Amino acid sequence: MRSYSLIAPAKINLYLEIIGDRPDGFHELAMILQSIELADQISVRSLSTDNIRVHSNHPQVPTDKSNLAYCAAELMVKEFPDTFAKYGGVEITIDKHIPVAAGLAGGSTNAAAVLVGIDLLWNLGLTQTELEELGAILGSDVPFCIAGGTAIATGRGEQLSPLPNLDNIYIVLAKYRSLEVSTAWAYKTYRQQFGNTYIQDTASLVARANAVHSGPIVKAIANKDAADIAQKLHNDLERVVLPEYPQVLQLRELFASQAGVLGTMMSGSGPTVFALVESQQQAEAVKQQIRAAILDEDLELFVTRTATHGIKIASSV
Ligand code: ATP
């Protein structure tokens, strides 16, 4: 019996632009996604029985079919029934470090790790493109989580173009443990409030999505200029989340006022707020200053940095 242990990094959005509606009901997006070193550890192991089992050390993470990692295993069983019959079921263990429902793609990266892990466990030899195609069935962020690094994501977020790696940019993350923002609510509210500004015709929609490739933040990334990247952070969803969640707005303002902070933004649909910071030392100092300014144990703070990888094997037995 073999098992694999995988590192599953979280992501932040350096850029998130909502362009318009898609015929499938999702939004047409132009995003820049960035992996970070803050990661879950996922292990996958063959079982002698034919079921899928999920264990987790985190009370907010479901262990039933509503867990995206479970869905990933179920998809592999459906796609490769003969291999499943040969190898049997799968046990998935999730060691959670990424805050849950945080806009950091926690569930998506767990699903990505399970796809990669089962591919290895069952000797399928799938290519990265094949894994990403399977990932797109599970969720828009899953393909990026497999590949990781820095990338432009268009369409629903599943069409990826890699960008030059950004390493060693330090990040402070802040999230209230008990505060959750529903991704569905954020996009629905954005449509209600700003739907009249959406680009309507398909050609203009595609042109707008393509324009991100030559946008100013992409140039800053190509130059690996952290200060310039930090000045060009953007997230359309802040327009609906910040007015509704004053705690998120407060974190955003507090980060912006700290020495050493190059720029700050909400990640995805929130509620996590991140700050790009010049050095590890400054990141630790910013974390301490925020901790001293907000005396609330519900507030979680992390110092991490940009990662240049997606799902990575930690060990195999
Ligand atoms: P995204 O950035 O992709 O929108 P997120 O970081 O906002 O994701 P998740 O951490 O994936 O959000 O959690 C969203 C919900 O999904 C949670 O309320 C949780 O109950 C459920 N969930 C399902 N599977 C997982 C998983 N493997 N890890 C964390 N949450 C999961």
For ligand 1, atom 24, the nearest C-alpha belongs to 67
Mean pLDDT across the stretch 149-160? 95
Ligand 1 atom with the smallest distance to the CA of 96 is 28
Confidence band for 131, pLDDT divided at 50, 70 and 90: very high
Whether residue 30 is predicted with pLDDT greater than 80 in this model: the reply is yes
Q: β-pairing, 234-235 with 3-21? A: parallel
Q: Which fold has domain 170-305?
A: Alpha-Beta Plaits (3.30.70)
Say yes or no: CB of residue 266 within 6 Å of ligand 1. no
Nearest CA to ligand 1 atom 20: 61
Q: Which of 11, 175, 232, 287 is catalytic?
A: 11
Q: Which single residue is written with the structure tokens 């952290």?
A: 226
Per-residue pLDDT reduced to its tens digit, 190-209: 999 999 999 988 889 889 98
Q: What values do phi and psi take at 82, rounded to 5?
A: -70, -40
Question: What does the block give as tokens for 119?
Answer: 């591919």
224-271 pLDDT per residue, tens? 999 999 999 999 999 999 999 999 999 999 999 999 999 999 999 999
Cα–Cα dist 211/282, whole Å? 34
Query: Which pLDDT band, with edges at 50, 70 and 90, does 64 fall under?
Result: very high
The structure tokens listed for 136 are: 């797109």
Catalytic residue among 40, 96, 119, 141: 141
33's enclosing H/E stretch is strand 27-46
Ligand 1 centroid–CA 219 distance in Å is 32
What's residue 202's pLDDT? 86
Q: Which of 65, 67, 96, 100 to mutate to test the pocket of ligand 1 (most atoms within 8 A of CB)?
A: 100
Whether ligand 1 lies within 6 angstroms of the CB of 110 is answered as yes
Instruction: Look at residue 216 in the predicted model and tell me its pLDDT.
Output: 94
pLDDT at position 298 is: 97
CA of 28 to the centre of ligand 1 (A): 21
Nearest CA to ligand 1 atom 29: 107
* Cα 106 to ligand 1 centroid, rounded to whole Å: 5
225 is catalytic: no
**Mean pLDDT computed over every residue of the chain:** 96
pLDDT tens for 282-296 read 999 999 999 999 999
For 63, list phi and psi in degrees, rounded to 5: -115, 5
The architecture (CATH level 2) of 3-164 comes to 2-Layer Sandwich (3.30)
- Gyration radius from the chain CA atoms: 19
Phi, psi angle pair for 31, to nearest 5°: -130, 160
**Distance between CA atoms of 114 and 5, rounded to whole angstroms?**
10
Active-site residue 141, yes or no? yes
Listed by start position, the domains of the chain span 3-164, 170-305
In this prediction the pTM is 0.96
Flag whether pLDDT at 1 surpasses 70: no
Cα 211 to Cα 19, 204, 247: the distances in Å are: 11, 10, 33
CA distance 245 to 303: 23
d(C-alpha 83, C-alpha 113), whole Å: 18
